[in-house]
Amino acid sequence: MTTTLDKYGRILIPKRLRELLGITPQTQLVITEEGNKIIIEPVSEENPYEEKDGMIVFVGELEVEYESLVEQERKRRDEQMLGL
């Protein structure tokens, strides 16, 4: 992909890349240089996954309440079993 620097020194990150990387207007970016390359990376939060006993497990924060998800799933299964 090619983009152009505007007169204020800004570049536009294409929408497809912003969506792919989860970059929003509030996302902090780290800019580094390596040789003749400019590298722009989103500041990543702590990795929400860890390896435990040879398995990858999620250890991050859920964006919704866990209890409500469990209750919704129980209700769905009950309705499925009862044929509702």
pLDDT tens digits, residue range 34-56?
999 999 988 876 777 888 999 98
Query: Are the CB atoms for 49 and 58 separated by under 8 Å?
Result: yes
Task: Report the distance separating Cα 71 and Cα 24, nearest Å.
Answer: 32
* Higher per-residue pLDDT: 7 or 27: 7
Question: Quick one: pLDDT at residue 28?
Answer: 87
pLDDT tens digits, residue range 20-31?
888 889 888 989
Task: Report the distance separating Cα 75 and Cα 65, nearest Å.
Answer: 16
Domains and CATH numbers, the chain: 1-44 (2.10.260.10), 49-82 (no CATH)
State the pTM of this model. 0.46
Question: Quick one: pLDDT at residue 50?
Answer: 86
